[in-house]
Each structure stands twice: as C-alpha cells, then as structure tokens.
Chain A
C-alpha cells in the first residue's frame, strides 16, 4: 500500500470513529430517550453479553444459514438458467419478455403466496430468499453468455471442441466477471430476505432477535442485533470480493 492509500484508509477510520462519538454524545445528552436509543457502550455490552450467553451466536448462525442456503440455491439455479437462456438467441427472444415482467416484481409481494403454499417453514424461507436472490445472478449470467466474443466461438469451432468444452472453457470463464458481480449483488438481497422471513415466520435468526428485543423495549439488544446484521453484510461482501479478485486475477493483469 502506498502513502496516499494509507492516508485515505486512516481518514475513513476517523470518519467512522466520528460517527460513533456523535452517537455516544447524543445518547449521553439524552437527546433521545435511552429506552429507544442506547449509546454505543451499552450496545457493545449487550453484544458481548449476548455472545457469552450463546444466544446471539445461535441467532447469527441461523441467519447465516438462511442466507447461505438461499444464496447458493439462487446461484446454482441462476447460473444454470442464465446459461441456458443466454447461450441461445432464440431462447433470449422467447423468454426475455416474461423475465421483464417478473424481474421488477417486489419479492415481498410473493411472501404471502409462499406462506400460503409452503406455510411458516424453513422451506418457505429458502424459496423466498432464492427467488429474490436469483434475479441479479440470472440476468448477469444471461448478459455474460450473450456477450461472449463471437471470434472465440470460431476458434472453438476450428479446434472442433465439444459443446460441453465450449461452455466450460469458453462461455463460462468469459461470463464469469458478470456472474460474480451478480452473485455479490444478490448476497445483500439474500441477507435482507433472510431477516424479513425470520421476522414474518418467526424462524430462528437475527431477524427474530431484533423483533423480540424491540417488542420488549430492550434497545441495547436491538442495536446489538442491528450491528451484527450490518457486520454480516459487510464481511460476506468482502469475502465474495476476495474470491472474485482471486478468480479474476487475469483482469488485474490487463491494467
């Protein structure tokens, strides 16, 4: 890291520290009632207490589980469907209008449908999360497959590569930057929908923890849950970015 980069990093940490200090100040001055707004000190204490009793860890694990399963299901289905649609011009022409109708549909609108059909179950949560998270992945995959350099297909033809080899060695790696970007986007969607499903269906997870804490006016616990959710979103996104950098090292070489 060079000097300028270090300075920028320090500045960003200072800004974050400033926000926390302002939060503490507002809490200490009782600008907002402590019933609703705990200071960062109390939120931190609640976080430590929650983890030492083991409650919070199990809730965090519940949310991570919902998120991971839904996201993985969305990724597998999204890449498979996207590849199928994106690699054929005819499929794109047939399916695109239906996709355009389904895509802007708010996922929250299908939750009642999912509950009616699947009940307040883990299966319902998996379906809702996967349904919401599939769009960024599938649309990115379609775009990635449609944008493969035609010259590469000619190279593949002159080498007499099999259809499977063309998909695995040409189309998929070429679409990978798009696919990974879509997967990163849908990670956030999966987290949001995990929390929504936990709140609506009372499934074990941070969503439920946050809801129950709010109802019991345990604001410190509430904030501990919110902070944990923020950290989950941040850290999973960083993890995917790291994988992305690793897989797309060849793009860095181009710069």
Chain B
C-alpha cells in the first residue's frame, strides 16, 4: 500500500471515531424543556454546522458541549469522557465579542489572559501574543483597547484568545451574526484556513444557512420546542472553498434548497 493511501485510510479511520457525543441529552431550565433526547456525534477534525429556527436550542447544545451547562438527563461526552466542566482543549467563541472581551485590557492583554490561565511563563507570552495577532490578521494592534477596534477586529481578537488555549476543538456560537456581509465573508475564509490547517474540530452554530453549507463538512438542522434533530446533510463540496465558485456550485444550491425547505417546514 502506498504512503498516500495509508494516510487516507488513517484519516478515514479517525473520522469514523467520535469526539463529542450527545447521548439522549435532555436539558430543562426553569420548567421548560430546551433540548430533548438529542443524539448527535461530532467526529474528530470535522467542521460541523448546526442550524435551526430560533428557539431550537442550538446555542444550548453548544453550551452543553462546552461544559457550561450539564444535561438534566442523558449525557454529553468528550473523547468518551463525560463533560462536567469546561476543559482546556475546548475553546468557545461567543457571539457577543463586546461582552466577552475585557475592556480594561488591550488586545495583547486579552490574549495574555488565556496564556496566564494556561500558565505560560511571562517571558514567552509576548512572542506568542504577537504570533497569534498576526495569525488572525491583527498585527500592529497589540496596544489597542477593544473599544478602539471595529466589530470584526474584536471578533478576530476573541478568536485569537481562543487559539491561545491551543484547543483541539473550537465551539463557535453565531460568531459572525453581528458583522456586516463583507467582514463576515472575510472571517469565514480565515476561520476555514486556520482550522483546516491544524485539523481543529469545529462546531459552528449559525442561523445563516448559506454560511453553514459554505463552511461545513456536515450540517445538522434542529427542530424547535423542544430542540431535537430534524435533518442531517453531508456537504460534498470541494475544498478549499471559494466565496464565488462554491456558492455557485449546483450541489451548494441543491443543499441550500433542501435546508431552506426544512427550516420553512419547521416553523409551522
């Protein structure tokens, strides 16, 4: 067997495995069932997008995976281990970057927070911070406070802070929901290149169906009240993705139609 074939096979084997698993996970909050009997598997290295109408519990599912919530019944596991609290190899990017950044720390200081938490020695931090800022396209902005930066830049900063954790898994909660269309497309491509290169597993929650198909290896649509799985689509589009070519691809349009029909039906 050739080396290439062996690598491909190894990769396929890895993809069969499960990194995060929801096993009949149910969450009730304040007498309301937010998520009911959710069965979902996230494979290592994949880019999984979760979509659904508002109230379908997609953000809640992400918070369960992050360990910020614990299921009322059922279980959520990471690498076979039950998730009881947040773990270092899993980073979460919140939608409201304005609230998730420390306004009293500069861009460098915000990234430093994650490095301090992982006990990176002080003398190594500045080099790491510089590298991370360059990675997310913010070189030269180290001394700026978040309030001096645009929304897109603040979200890049939050992503940099998450990358400072050196996560194997990135959970993203509608990260580009508050950004304008141009900024959003730029960030989509950057997240793809950042995570594809490092084989990072991504669970990406969004209400933008085009975004989900454009980014994902797989798209899961949830049904609301209570949240459960309604549709599961494999996205067989060539990588690297391209903002024009991918979005004009017949397969993209077919998936888009299928997903739109599903969301429309779920709202009734």
A174 to B114 Cα, complex, angstroms: 17
Closest CB-CB distance, A41 to chain B, in whole Å? 50
Given the interface pairs A151-B96, A254-B103, the reply to whether A169 lies near B145 with Cβ below 8 Å is: no
Given the interface pairs A161-B117, A169-B113, A253-B145, the reply to whether A152 lies near B66 with Cβ below 8 Å is: no
A149 to B114 Cα, complex, angstroms: 18
Contact yes or no, A157 B68, CB < 8 A? yes
CB neighbours of A158 from chain B (8 A)? 66-68, 86, 90-92
A52 CB–B CB distance under 8 Å: no
A170 to B100 Cα, complex, angstroms: 11
Using CB atoms, name the residue of chain B closest to A157.
B86
**Chain A: how many interface residues by the 8 Å CB criterion?**
21
Using CB atoms, name the residue of chain A closest to B96.
A151
CB neighbours of B96 from chain A (8 A)? 151
CB neighbours of A250 from chain B (8 A)? 103-105, 145, 147
Contact yes or no, B113 A154, CB < 8 A? no
Closest CB-CB distance, B224 to chain A, in whole Å? 24
Instruction: Give the residue of A155, A165, A173 whose beta carbon is less than 8 angstroms from that of B116.
Output: A165
B6 CB–A CB distance under 8 Å: no
CB neighbours of A170 from chain B (8 A)? 102
Contact yes or no, A159 B68, CB < 8 A? no
| Segment 122-161 of A: residues with Cβ below 8 Å from B | 149, 151-152, 154-155, 157-161
Contact yes or no, B145 A254, CB < 8 A? yes
Contact yes or no, A160 B145, CB < 8 A? no
**Total A-B contacts with CB atoms under 8 angstroms apart:** 64
A176 CB–B CB distance under 8 Å: yes
CB neighbours of B94 from chain A (8 A)? 151, 154-155
Contact yes or no, A159 B147, CB < 8 A? no
CB neighbours of A248 from chain B (8 A)? 104
| B interface residue count range (under 10 / 10 to 19 / 20 to 34 / 35 or more) | 20 to 34
Given the interface pairs A154-B94, A253-B145, the reply to whether A159 lies near B114 with Cβ below 8 Å is: yes
Q: Mask for B104-126, Cβ within 8 A of A = 1, else 0?
A: 11000000011011100000000
| Segment 157-204 of A: residues with Cβ below 8 Å from B | 157-161, 165, 169-170, 173-174, 176
Is chain A's interface secondary structure helix, strand, loop, or mixed overall?
helix
CB neighbours of B147 from chain A (8 A)? 250, 253-254
Closest CB-CB distance, A180 to chain B, in whole Å? 12
Contact yes or no, A152 B116, CB < 8 A? no
| Segment 196-255 of A: residues with Cβ below 8 Å from B | 248, 250-251, 253-254
CB neighbours of B68 from chain A (8 A)? 154, 157-158
A159 to B104 Cα, complex, angstroms: 18
Given the interface pairs A161-B117, A254-B145, the reply to whether A151 lies near B104 with Cβ below 8 Å is: no
B88 CB–A CB distance under 8 Å: yes
B148 CB–A CB distance under 8 Å: yes
Closest CB-CB distance, A114 to chain B, in whole Å? 39
A6 to B22 Cα, complex, angstroms: 66
B79 CB–A CB distance under 8 Å: no
Contact yes or no, A149 B116, CB < 8 A? no
A176 to B102 Cα, complex, angstroms: 13
Closest CB-CB distance, B119 to chain A, in whole Å? 10
Closest CB-CB distance, A250 to chain B, in whole Å? 5
B85 CB–A CB distance under 8 Å: yes
Given the interface pairs A151-B99, A154-B68, A157-B68, the reply to whether A176 lies near B116 with Cβ below 8 Å is: no
Using CB atoms, name the residue of chain A closest to B66.
A158
Using CB atoms, name the residue of chain A closest to B112.
A169
CB neighbours of A151 from chain B (8 A)? 94, 96, 99-100
CB neighbours of A152 from chain B (8 A)? 99-100, 102
B165 CB–A CB distance under 8 Å: yes
Using CB atoms, name the residue of chain B closest to A154.
B68
Contact yes or no, B117 A173, CB < 8 A? no
Contact yes or no, A176 B104, CB < 8 A? yes
A245 to B94 Cα, complex, angstroms: 31
CB neighbours of A157 from chain B (8 A)? 68, 85-86
A160 to B117 Cα, complex, angstroms: 7
A202 to B90 Cα, complex, angstroms: 65
A5 to B245 Cα, complex, angstroms: 58
A50 to B105 Cα, complex, angstroms: 48
Q: Which 5 A-B pairs have the closest CB atoms?
A: A254-B147, A159-B117, A151-B99, A158-B86, A253-B145
In the assembled complex, 13 residue pairs joining A and B whose CB atoms fall closer than 8 Å, in A order, are A151-B94, A157-B68, A158-B66, A159-B88, A159-B165, A160-B85, A160-B86, A160-B117, A165-B116, A169-B113, A173-B102, A254-B147, A254-B148
A151-B100, A250-B105, A254-B148 are known; give 15 further A-B pairs, CB within 8 A: A154-B68, A155-B94, A158-B67, A159-B86, A159-B113, A159-B165, A160-B87, A160-B88, A165-B117, A169-B102, A169-B116, A173-B105, A250-B145, A253-B148, A254-B147
